[in-house]
Amino acid sequence: MKATLTEENYLKALFHVIDQEGKVTINELSKFLSVKMPSVNNMMKKFAEKNWVIYETYKPLIVTEKGKREAALVVRKHRLTEMFLVKKMNFGWENVHEIAEQLEHVHSTVFFDKMDEILDYPKFDPHGEPIPDKDGNIIAQDLKKLSECKLGDVAVFTSVTLSDDAFLNYLTERNLFLNKKIKIIKLESFDKSMTVEVDGKQEILSRKATDKILVKK
């Protein structure tokens, strides 16, 4: 039986919050989804029945390999849709998240496989996040936060950890797009803000922003 819309939202949340050992707490899921803990508990018991998680009272959830695959496939639909909207329909990267939120719940595998083919099998979405393949496998990336860079470093803007409209508009207004080279010009000790140079122009970025910009050197 196909996952319901609500189940898919929980699966996607698991994808984003599990740690490297495949574990997550009910409290972490509750905060991420803004859903009360009793509701999360009830859903995770259902997930345990489907062998998507291992559920034990008062212990962190363990997401099974089956659960990881199911979660990755929901994310695949979302990220493929975002890429299609940008590449084939000329949407800005800041305007695709809400539409993808709706289309990710379409259950036709053929539909998304065709989308993948039309896009020539992209490995990353418009925000630089890897797109899981048909089997739920995902490319591992060795990236660091811009906030972790040092004075004088030059790094390539590779991905964002947060793709909400407000943040992407913030980046667009500052001409900060993927694959741009960013040079660290100044670091403020008081508020951890950062002055950077992009395409010969200087911009001041808040610590909140530099924590969400992922780069490679």
* pLDDT tens per residue, range 3-35: 899 999 999 999 999 988 889 999 999 999 999
Q: Cβ distance 87 to 73 under 8 Å?
A: no
- What's the CA gap between 22 and 63, in Å, rounded? 5
pLDDT score of 216: 94
Q: Which residues contact 213 (CB under 8 A, 6 or more apart)?
A: 145, 146, 147, 157, 160, 161, 171, 176, 182, 205
Strands 61-63, 201-205: pairing is unpaired
The helix/strand/coil state of 23 is strand
Grouping H, G, I as helix, E, B as strand and the rest as coil, residue 50 is coil
Is residue 87 scored above 90 in pLDDT? yes
